[in-house]
Structure 1
């Protein structure tokens, strides 16, 4: 009798543990990370750390509406630097990061939801600069500023252009004005928006050398059905004109 009682208790314990584990596993809450990348993502106080409602921007609003429509819970944090949050999303199950350019070398590293918005790649110079170039090959010999860890900087490095890297992209606007760099490799409209925030307005586009689409990148362990729900929700929002309405509020 005692033996049967022990077996019954053990079976009950296993069932309870299994139930708790199942409840914990059913939690679809995703941890979303972003950075200051105006006008797509930005802290309302302008600092490099913010949480939840203290974050705004085109991509932030689109992501919020997408998760609401999909019925999936999340928490949102803005952190610095980009390399750190990229690594967290790459390595931690249940994590995601936005906005990220969807490039061939990144394709298999994440699961993707998007596109959220465009990000053209440009070389900017001061308005009175005499620099004239036809392609990136002709940019060799010029001092080019770029944002450390960003896809644009990585692309330039792979092509042997050796950009001068800054920890904040907006720092390159002032470097350009001060003559520390000849050209600023950045995104459009992000670069011009950032420049205006630090009082720099007289810039000229010297070269437009790529056009990328920006996405929410999710860790590969995020279930496919969650990714599909988010993508369907975003597609619905775009079809209804909600995405364009959000962009119009900022641009």
Structure 2
């Protein structure tokens, strides 16, 4: 009897010591993102982009497996904010989201630019008051739209909403709007996919650059997994990969 108890105690000790390793081997991280070039998008059947390549390097360093799902931003955010062992990217770290996730990063600065057609010399923006003269298109259900609405940069009736940055760029060339709101990398990528000169569109006003991009992890995720990712990110950042990828994808 004493021998059986001793063996059972030893077995429990071994299992407790193995738990973190076993957990990491058995756990597959569920990763959610949206189609948002140049940060995350499919090309020739492969998920790629600035944030995608960076995250893949981090998870490889952390020795973690992941399932990637590219869906609408609303659905991606819903999954990541409610399900354990999930990661969301590319995510703006804002005060209202601060306590909802564990944050890994930063992975970049969110610079929101207003773009116009270069030929539209009638559009002149010197300060925020000038914004109220023009119609702008912004991707719906984003922190960018929320920021614009909360701070009253544009009258509500002059804000047009679109599903993607690609839609916004097309609206600009069809002259359905005067301005679009986008990151420099996002706007340049979408322009490169259209039959227009590279300089046909230009940034005219930096609307906001106070927030940063991060990887966001659901708080119910196992702590050992979060710490593995956090440690791996620091190693990848020290390697210089972030700057390399910024040049590759023309991220400012």
TM over 0.5: yes
Is the CA contact (8 Å cut-off) linking 1:122 and 1:209 kept in structure 2?
yes
Counterpart for residue 176 of structure 1 = 172
Tell which deviates more after alignment, 179-188 or 200-209: 200-209
Indicate conservation of the 8 Å contact 1:113/1:215, yes or no. Answer: yes
Deviation of 1:135 (Å):
3.5
Would the alpha carbon gap of residues 222 and 136 (structure 1) be closer, same or farther in structure 2, given more than 3 Å must change?
farther
Does the CA-based 8 Å contact 2:50-2:249 persist in structure 1? yes
Residues 185, 249 of structure 2: 8 Å contact kept: no
Aligned to 1:242: 241
Q: Which runs of 5+ in 2 are unaligned?
A: 1-11
Measured after TM superposition, the shift of residue 64 of structure 1 is 0.6
Computed over aligned residues only, the root mean square deviation of the Cα atoms, in angstroms, reads 2.3
1:87 to 62, 78, 92: 78
**Mapped pair 1:70 → 2:66:** no
Q: Is the 8 A contact 1:124 1:183 kept in 2?
A: yes
Query: 1:155-195 deviations in whole A, cap 9, x for unaligned?
Result: 11212333211011111111111111011011122122122
8 Å contact kept, 1:41–1:57: yes
Contact kept? 1:119, 1:188, Cα under 8 Å: no
Alignment of 1:69-148 (within 5 A): 69-79=61-71, 81-129=72-120, 130-148=122-140
| CA displacement 1:124-152 (0-9 Å, x = unmatched) | 01102221223444312411100011221
Q: Which residue of 1 aligns with 2:205?
A: 207
SS at match of 1:33: strand
Aligned partners of 2:165 and 2:186 also within 8 Å: no
The TM-score, its normalising length taken from structure 1, stands at 0.81
Cα distance per residue 1:27-54 (max 9 Å; x no partner): 4321001111111111114xxxx7xxx2
**Alpha-carbon distance change, 175 to 44 in structure 1, aligned in 2, over 3 angstroms:** same
**Residue 196 (1) aligns with residue 188 (2):** no
Whether the 8 Å contact between 2:117 and 2:173 is mirrored in structure 1 is yes
Change (3 A) 1:199 1:36: farther
Return 88-97 or 194-203, whichever deviates more: 194-203
- Aligned residue for 1:175, secondary structure, equals helix
2:215 corresponds in structure 1 to: 216
**Offset at residue 58 of structure 1 (A):** 1.1
Give how far 1:154 is off.
1.3
Number of residues paired by the alignment? 224
Q: Does 1:149 align with 2:148?
A: no
* SS of 1:131 mapped into structure 2: coil
Q: Hey, what's the Cα distance between the residues in 2 that align with 1:220 and 1:153?
A: 26
